[in-house]
Amino acid sequence: MGEIFLGTIKIRKRCGNCGISFDIHEKVGDIGTWITSFFLSALLVPIILIVELYSNFSLKQYIFLLIPLVIISSIILLRITKFYILYKYMKKNNNEN
């Protein structure tokens, strides 16, 4: 099975095994980034609010807690959304042909 991602979040242009083109950026744009931003905001803001209400973290503790949490969750969710969008796009194209 070929790799889909080139690095952390960038999608390869083509499959290394079968040569199928993954170049869909012109067709779908930045929808993966928009979806990721929306869901991260919807998930992390309430979590941060609850932590703020029920804990006494200092600013330094927030920085060391939130920055890695936001970065790691962004990468994970962006990979998931990009894979899902690529999957749906490829499935739609296969059904049309």
Question: Can you give the residue ranges of every domain in the chain?
Answer: 29-96
Q: Given pLDDT bands bounded at 50, 70 and 90, which one contains residue 27?
A: low
pLDDT category at 97 given cuts 50, 70, 90 is low
| pLDDT for position 36 | 92
Cβ contacts of 7-10, under 8 Å, gap ≥ 24: 8/75, 8/79, 9/75, 9/78, 9/79, 9/82
The pLDDT tens digits of the residues spanning 36-82 come to 999 999 998 998 889 889 988 888 988 898 899 999 999 999 999 98
pTM of the model: 0.78
